[in-house]
Structure 1
Amino acid sequence: MLGNKVTVFGATGYIGREVVNELANTGYEVRVVVRRPERFREFALYPNTKLFTLESFDDTEALKQSMQDSEIVFNLIADRSTGTEMIDLDDMGNVGKRLKSAMESAHVKRVLSLSFIGANNDCDSHEWLGVLADFDNQMHAVSTANETIFRAGMLIGENDQSTAYYVKQLLRFPFLAVANGGSEVQPLWVKDFAKAMVSSIRNEQLFGQKIEVAGTELMTVKELGEKVAAIMEQDDAVVFPMCKLNARFMAALGILAPVQSIHKSQLTLLANDATTETEFSEVFEMTPSSLDWVIAQYAKPKHQREKYNDYRKNAGRDEN
């Protein structure tokens, strides 16, 4: 029997916020662990959600207290969009060991940990996928808990660090440069991923498993960029892959870059194919949302008549 209290690490990123939202709306009491609570007061808007300050993972006692009375822990530290809260790759190994030890001391019973497709012990231990594989092994070895490692593919949605950047660029100019354009991906809506993780808490069939989680539509990153352009009704847009050197340069420039479609996380997360033969609907018993529908929510242009329909709907009038 598991309780209703959950501690979440890495909650301030793009993926983490969706997971916390799903946990809170499902009725769990959520404790979000952060280093700088003053920067994340918006979490107070989530029901049954509180912040816990952990200034350093080296603070063994505070780390243990962050999981006090929580039999369930979500580890989302692998999310590379957590900004100032992000753990450097060089520190991932040490943090993983300290997390494992603290989980065992706190007698945590259930661990759900974020990873990414491609994490493998055969990879260079100093590179992203090698570091991630070692981190996964630490979570997989928590002696007091039933654990599940979720190796995600490409997760998309409004405010992501891929398709949302494509939209931003295409709104400026009909030229879209994409990083790692030849990599194959199976995009999945981040909300579907969060729902899948939360629904797995009490699913005993997933205990002890490392699961690859991705959508159903296979395409290259370049083809994904072309799909975004088509949904935006920019038929004349030119979509082309950018070489790695130029992509790194544009990512380093950030908001000063003349090309706004490149983010540094793309250089890491899309450097390799992120595909799987695992069927999402079979594992989680839910059908992932249509890719076109997801992207249209934040990319499809609103014509004047559609705007008027929105106004009528908000006013409680018949749209016709």
Structure 2
Amino acid sequence: MATQPPAQQLVTVFGGSGFLGRHVVRALARRGYRVRVAVRRPDLANFLQPLGIVGQIHAVQANLRYPDSVAAAVRGSDAVINLVGILSESGRQNFSNVQARGAHTVAHACASLGVERLVQISALGADRDSKSHYARTKAEGEAAVLELVKGAVVMRPSIMFGPEDTFFNRFASLARMLPVLPLVGGGETKFQPVFVGDVAKAVALAIEGKVEGGKIYELGGPEAKSFRELVEYVCEVTGRRRVIASLPFPLARFQARILEIVNTLSLGLLPDEFLLTRDQVALLESDNVVSEAARRDGRTLAGIGIAPVSFEAEVPSYLWRFRKAGQFATSRGG
């Protein structure tokens, strides 16, 4: 654990301009750390600067596929956070390059340059034996990090919610456009939505040395809900009466294949709300909740002293824009 005050410590955050990244950068800045945001397009990360005082946050160019750029971003750092991950593949930005080899590259740079504090963000469901390539590469990245940096902290959040999330916003958008919402596997998959701010707080605690290293932590919210229950909640909050239909896994895989072809032929122009991949279907075959072992061992938000926020407390504050009358809606319908 570092003895220097935060203002004298530099933390490099890979992927700091993303959904979770902006919350992590804010949490670090509020604690007084100097923050180096390592991203592929530094010009797109300028919006982060107002989160701190003048000169506290700055962006540098780095790409996990290029070890020299990663080493340059790590050099001089007191701690490193790797948030980089993708939900679907595109060209060279594939799961193996980004989530397995990319995590190895970051960990190798830390080991080579003597950086002992490393936080790796993975995902609940990471498993080397999973049918999903996403889940397998997340697990491979975890293994590389823990092998190269013995005191690293690995965190596996469930689906994250917050104003810019890609779950609640996605289904609210679909409910606005479609009369029927098909749910893969009948919507039986269990999730444990976790507030993005709570995950950022957990990361900051790890940087402060208040989370024991060499372990994998599973981060979920206070309650687990089925896929169907969460979509029904979205419809309730947005005031949309929609038919929720079951899409069996075999049919979902076929539909996903068709959508992948359409997306390829359209050069990636298929709207994100409609994109479904076979790998995502495979992920939905397993529940996405905190394990009993993690709860027993204290490797959870509660175990590190964070009382998780429920999705009911936050989601309505940003889904109002999907109602017919926006924030002025007083009745359900649609």
Question: Structure 2-normalised TM-score?
Answer: 0.78
**Aligned partner letter, 1:49:** I
Aligned to 1:171: 176
The Cα shift of 1:149 comes to 0.5
Partner in structure 2 of residue 239 of structure 1: 244
CA contact (8 A) 2:222 2:310 kept: no
The CA distance in 1 between the partners of 2:273 and 2:216, in whole Å, is: 35
Partner of 2:40: 35
Helix, strand or coil at the partner of 1:121: coil
Matched, 1:296 2:316: yes
Candidates 42, 49, 52, aligned match of 2:57: 49
Q: CA deviation at 1:270?
A: 4.0
Contact kept, 8 Å, 2:120 with 2:153, in 1: the verdict is: yes
Q: Distance in 1 between matches of 2:65 and 2:326?
A: 53
Q: How does 1:1-320 map to 2 (within 5 A)?
A: 1-2=1-2, 3=4, 4-47=9-52, 48-55=56-63, 57-60=65-68, 62-80=69-87, 87-91=93-97, 92-123=99-130, 127-143=133-149, 146-179=151-184, 181-234=187-240, 236-242=241-247, 243-250=252-259, 253=263, 256=270, 260=273, 267=281, 270-276=284-290, 277=292, 278-279=294-295, 280-300=300-320
Q: Report how far residue 168 of structure 1 moved.
A: 1.0
Q: How many angstroms does 1:156 deviate by?
A: 1.8
What is the CA–CA distance in structure 1 between the aligned matches of 2:280 and 2:157, rounded to whole Å? 14
- Deviation per residue, 1:206-226 (Å, 9 max, x gap): 211111111121121121101
Q: Deviations over 1:245-273 (max 9, x none)?
A: 3245457547656x946555854754531
Q: Deviations over 1:152-211 (max 9, x none)?
A: 111122222221011112223443233452211111111221122212323455211111
Report sequence identity in percent: 24
Give me the whole-angstrom Cα distance separating, in 2, the residues matched to 1:152 and 1:304.
34
> Aligned residue pairs: how many?
302
Q: Deviations over 1:105-148 (max 9, x none)?
A: 22112011111122223346x822222211101111234x6211
Distance 1:80 1:73, change over 3 A: farther
How far residue 33 of structure 1 moved from its aligned partner, in angstroms, is 0.9
* Amino acid across the alignment from 1:76: L
d(CA) in 2 for partners of 1:205, 1:158: 27
Q: Which residue of 1 aligns with 2:332?
A: none
Deviations 1:44-65 (A, max 9, x none): 33322111112564343x4222
Say which SS state the counterpart of residue 146 (structure 1) adopts. coil
Alpha-carbon shift at residue 12 of structure 1 (Å) = 3.1
Aligned partners of 1:155 and 1:190: how far apart in 2? 5
| Length-normalised TM-score, structure 1 | 0.81
What runs of 5+ residues in structure 2 fail to find an aligned partner?
Answer: 330-334
Deviation of 1:274 (Å): 0.7
RMSD: 3.2
- Please tell me whether the aligned partners of residues 232 and 300 of structure 1 are also in contact (alpha carbons under 8 angstroms): yes
**Alpha-carbon distance between aligned partners in 2 of 1:248 and 1:22, rounded to the nearest angstrom:** 40
Q: How far apart, CA to CA, are the structure 1 residues paired with 2:314 and 2:216?
A: 27
